């Protein structure tokens, strides 16, 4: 699990493998604070005891069965207003690997990976900003690989969906390769192409679906995202724009 990746330029050239830790994102944040955060460093653990998810949630993962890791990036070419592009590149990286194995894989806005109605992967991005640029980004990825039982019905894994056991090291290398490829595209300024790829693979795009917001349930079609990454839904009453937490996708 800790070999150096041969097909990437910098993501995964340094891999720190911790048999057990509280949270790879927190460990990575520690490296950032102590000035030891080299771009492309991967911190991976077999047993994450206090995995953190979006919106203060907990990310649970059975020891040894799944991928739980963080990648350190230095996207100083992005302003905080452009941070959604990090969501785009990391979602595409995980999506590309899952899609190779599962036909109906999709990105669920903003950065969950779904197979059918179930979540197979999640991403937690934590940025630090200096002089209006994103100095460091910790991209934390959890992908359910060989776990067979979950405490919640809405979660799944690659083995449950395909009936096959997976080599975690190969999947890790694949995600890092795709992350680096998309990140280099972003650095080269190909923002529109990345945005379009993200939208093309977004769950429910241009389909009539049921949603819920503060006011209750409603039908609508996802039409896209704003420059800041907010979700744009066309409803019977016109177009509405949502931040994270403000809208729920009902299957």
Does the protein bind ligand BTN through residue 87 (CB under 6 A)? no
Among 8, 15, 25, 211, binds ligand BTN (CB under 6 A): 25
* Residue 116 three-state SS: coil
d(C-alpha 91, C-alpha 187), whole Å: 16
Is the preceding omega at residue 110 within 30 degrees of 0, hence cis?
Answer: yes
Nearer to ligand BTN, 70 or 181 (CB): 70
Write out the binding residues for ligand BTN, residues 110-129 only, by CB under 6 A.
112, 122-124
Torsion (CA) 139, 88, 180, 130 in degrees, nearest 10? -60
Nearer to ligand BTN, 42 or 182 (CB): 42
* Residue 142 three-state SS: strand
CB 143 within 8 A of CB 120: yes
Among 75, 110, 140, 220, binds ligand BTN (CB under 6 A): 140
Does the protein bind ligand BTN through residue 24 (CB under 6 A)? yes
Nearer to ligand BTN, 25 or 96 (CB): 25
Does the protein bind ligand BTN through residue 157 (CB under 6 A)? no
Nearer to ligand BTN, 66 or 230 (CB): 66
d(C-alpha 56, C-alpha 96), whole Å: 27
CB 18 within 8 A of CB 44: yes
Write out the binding residues for ligand BTN, residues 46-65 only, by CB under 6 A.
51-54, 57, 59
d(C-alpha 98, C-alpha 105), whole Å: 7
Q: Which residues bind ligand BTN (CB under 6 A)?
A: 23-25, 51-54, 57, 59, 68-70, 112, 122-124, 140-142
């Amino acid at each position: 699990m800790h070999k150096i990746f041969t097909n990437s330029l910098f993501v995964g050239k340094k891999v720190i493998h911790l048999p057990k830790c509280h949270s790879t994102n927190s460990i990575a944040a520690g490296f950032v604070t102590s000035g030891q955060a080299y771009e492309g460093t991967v911190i991976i653990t077999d047993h994450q005891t206090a995995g953190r998810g979006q919106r203060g949630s907990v990310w649970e993962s059975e020891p040894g069965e799944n991928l739980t890791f963080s990648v350190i990036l230095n996207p100083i070419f992005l302003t905080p207003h452009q941070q959604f592009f990090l969501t785009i590149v990391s979602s595409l990286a995980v999506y590309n690997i899952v899609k190779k194995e599962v036909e109906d894989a999709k990105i669920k806005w903003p950065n969950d990976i779904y197979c059918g109605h179930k979540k197979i992967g999640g991403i937690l991005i934590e940025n630090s900003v200096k002089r209006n640029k994103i100095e460091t980004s910790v991209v934390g990825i959890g992908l359910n690989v060989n776990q067979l039982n979950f405490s919640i019905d809405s979660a799944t894994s690659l083995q449950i969906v395909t009936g096959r056991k997976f080599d975690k090291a190969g999947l890790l290398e694949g995600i890092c390769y795709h992350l680096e490829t998309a990140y280099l595209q972003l650095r080269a300024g190909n923002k529109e192409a990345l945005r379009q790829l993200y939208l093309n693979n977004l769950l429910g795009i241009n389909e009539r679906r049921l949603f819920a917001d503060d006011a209750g349930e409603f039908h609508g079609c996802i039409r896209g995202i704003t420059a800041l990454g907010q979700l744009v839904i066309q409803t019977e009453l016109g177009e509405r724009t949502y931040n994270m937490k403000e809208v729920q996708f009902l299957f």
